[in-house]
Amino acid sequence: MPKQRILRAAVIGGAAGAIAVLVAWRAFSEWLLGVADAAAPEVRCLRVADSSYAEAITAATRRLVATMDTQRIPGMTVAVAIDGRVIWSEGFGFADVAARTAACPETRFRLGSVSKPITAAAMARLHDAGTLDLDAPITRYVPSFPDKGTITARLLAGHRAGIRHYRDDAEAFTTRHFASVTASLELFRDDPLLFPPGERHEYSSYGYALLGAALEGASGLTFAEVIRRHVVEPLQLTRTGLDTSDSTSVHPTDVTRFYDHVTPYVHDGQVHPSPFVDLSSKWAGGGMLSTSEDLVRFGSALLPNASPPFLHPDTREALFAPMTRLVPPIFGYAMGWMTARDAELRRVYMHFGAGSGATAWLGIYPDQRVVIAVLANLGHAGLPYASSLGLGAHFAARPLGPTALVLALALGAFGLATILLRWIVHHARSRWRRA
């Protein structure tokens, strides 16, 4: 078979295959990110909407409104920052259904596990200050915790220390109050590890409780003071802090009411006011309050070359370096952050949060310098893929590098397949003729 014919076949086959892959990929993305029609929310509370992003905001609003309708979310807020500037901040629905109080950008929501990136940032700041060694035994900072092997702050932040998660709903929705983070460690202090430290990944909010105690021990401050001094004040996050409510507290006027439909206390599947839960045992891993705007300011401080610098560049790089690659190369876990690629192969650092009366998502698109935060007052609302990572499709440009790589791989694969197919056909015909 002449070389020119082989080369021509490879080019044609590779090009056709690459085009087919591109078309299929785009069709899959459009299907995955598709949005159903939904009625406009009864109440909207707009704070910022940059007119130069009007088209993106309109599309993203449609996506979020459809999610509220499908998931029966009473109230939700969203904020988007690009290159450190908030270009959209809006609330939808109600912070208090009974009082008909609107959910607004200044309304504070529970963060659930989106608290973990904030704790990890405080850990990183203490490391930059020389106060905390990420790889020192945790007993250096929490001497009351039993020696169970070389548990370190780094392993706790990456869920690789072997500490267990909640056993059941009774632990996840506890009403028990603890006077301090260290006191809350009694819930799991004497339990055996699930595996030797560093051996594998096992998600654990209790691991973050121990990390919070380590931050206290290293700094000599309470956990609330650690977060205030090392994250809240440097970034001017004026509406971020711990949910310190107990059973005697009066509900703060700037905090949303909380609603649930899947807790152990709700059996009819309908949306009801959440029962009281005490978050003193999970402040570091799931017990903070904030707003969408504060979250995008926090995320913007973690962008590459953020000004002024919040973390040392090497520390920032370590914070986002996957310690576990759960679905390589698409999904992994770093220190307090999930690392992923969206449907159009954008890099994104993110975290989901879910708990009683809370659903949250925070995403950083480092290459496009876009940060997005979504908060809802319905527990375990199950924000679908399209309502979280899908928002990036409206504000973050499609990455050319990964797209080119996919097309190049497709071109090469289909080109080689074409050569192989023509070789098989050629030799089959030769044998048939000789026969």
What is the DSSP annotation of 237-301? Answer: -TT-EE----TTPPPPTTB---EESSSTT--SSS-EEPPP---TTSHHHH-EEE-HHHHHHHHHT
Provide the residue type at 123 as one letter.
M
Say how far apart CA 12 and CA 90 lie, in whole Å: 50
* CB-based contact 81:296 (threshold 8 Å): yes
Question: 365: which 2 tokens?
Answer: 């698109």
Lowest-pLDDT range, 90-99, 171-180, 194-203, 279-288? 171-180
Lowest-pLDDT range, 121-125, 134-138, 301-305, 389-393? 389-393
Question: For 232-242, how does the pLDDT look when each residue is reduced to its tens digit (9 = 90+)?
Answer: 999 999 999 99
Lowest-pLDDT range, 66-80, 364-378, 421-435? 421-435
Task: Give the pLDDT confidence score for residue 336 in this predicted structure.
Answer: 98
CATH number of 44-395: 3.40.710.10
List all residues 6 or more positions away from 267 whose beta carbon is below 8 Å from its beta carbon: none
**348 pLDDT higher than 60:** yes
* Mean of pLDDT over the chain: 87
* CB-based contact 153:123 (threshold 8 Å): yes
Collapsing DSSP to helix, strand or coil, 220 comes out as: coil
**35 pLDDT higher than 80:** no
List all residues 6 or more positions away from 343 whose beta carbon is below 8 Å from its beta carbon: 28, 29, 32, 33, 385, 389, 390, 393
Task: Give the pLDDT confidence score for residue 398 in this predicted structure.
Answer: 74
Q: When comparing pLDDT for 354 and 5, which is higher? A: 354
Average pLDDT over residues 340-369: 92
323 pLDDT tier (thresholds 50, 70, 90)? very high
38 pLDDT tier (thresholds 50, 70, 90)? low
Question: For 1-15, how does the pLDDT look when each residue is reduced to its tens digit (9 = 90+)?
Answer: 565 665 566 566 566
Q: Which of 55-59, 189-193, 248-252, 394-398 has the highest mean pLDDT?
A: 189-193
Task: Give the pLDDT confidence score for residue 37 in this predicted structure.
Answer: 65
Say how far apart CA 85 and CA 45 lie, in whole Å: 19
First to last CA, the chain: 19
Collapsing DSSP to helix, strand or coil, 201 comes out as: coil
Lowest-pLDDT range, 235-244, 315-324, 344-353? 344-353
Sign of the Cα pseudo-torsion (228, 319, 405, 409, in order): negative
Collapsing DSSP to helix, strand or coil, 5 comes out as: helix
**98 pLDDT higher than 70:** yes
Query: Which residue(s) pair with 76 in the sheet?
Result: 92, 376
Lowest-pLDDT range, 216-220, 310-314, 429-433? 429-433
Average pLDDT over residues 54-78: 93
Q: Where are the domains of the chain?
A: 3-32+401-434, 44-395
Largest CA distance in the chain: 94
Percentage helix, strand, coil for the chain under 3-state DSSP, each rounded to 5: 40, 20, 40
Task: Give the pLDDT confidence score for residue 39 in this predicted structure.
Answer: 72
Q: What percent of the chain has pLDDT over 90?
A: 67
Question: 175: which 2 tokens?
Answer: 């009403």
Ramachandran area for residue 131 (φ above 0: left; ψ -120 to 50: alpha; else beta): alpha
Say how far apart CA 410 and CA 311 lie, in whole Å: 39
**29 pLDDT higher than 60:** no
Q: Which helix (H) or strand (E) holds 365?
A: strand 358-365
> According to DSSP H, which parts of 72-143 are helical?
115-128
Task: Give the pLDDT confidence score for residue 400 in this predicted structure.
Answer: 59
How many Å separate Cα 177 from the centre of its chain?
28
Question: For 252-277, how does the pLDDT look when each residue is reduced to its tens digit (9 = 90+)?
Answer: 999 999 999 987 767 788 999 998 99
- Sequence length of the chain is 435
Collapsing DSSP to helix, strand or coil, 153 comes out as: helix
Lowest-pLDDT range, 201-210, 373-382, 390-399? 390-399
**422 pLDDT higher than 70:** no
Query: Which residue(s) pair with 410 in the sheet?
Result: none
Query: Which residue(s) pair with 352 in the sheet?
Result: 361
Strand intervals (E) in 61-211: 75-82, 85-96, 101-102, 109-110
395 pLDDT tier (thresholds 50, 70, 90)? very high
Query: Which residue(s) pair with 75 in the sheet?
Result: 93
Half-sphere exposure of 246 (CA within 13 A, CB side): 7
Gyration radius from the chain CA atoms: 25
Query: Which residue(s) pair with 350 in the sheet?
Result: 338, 363
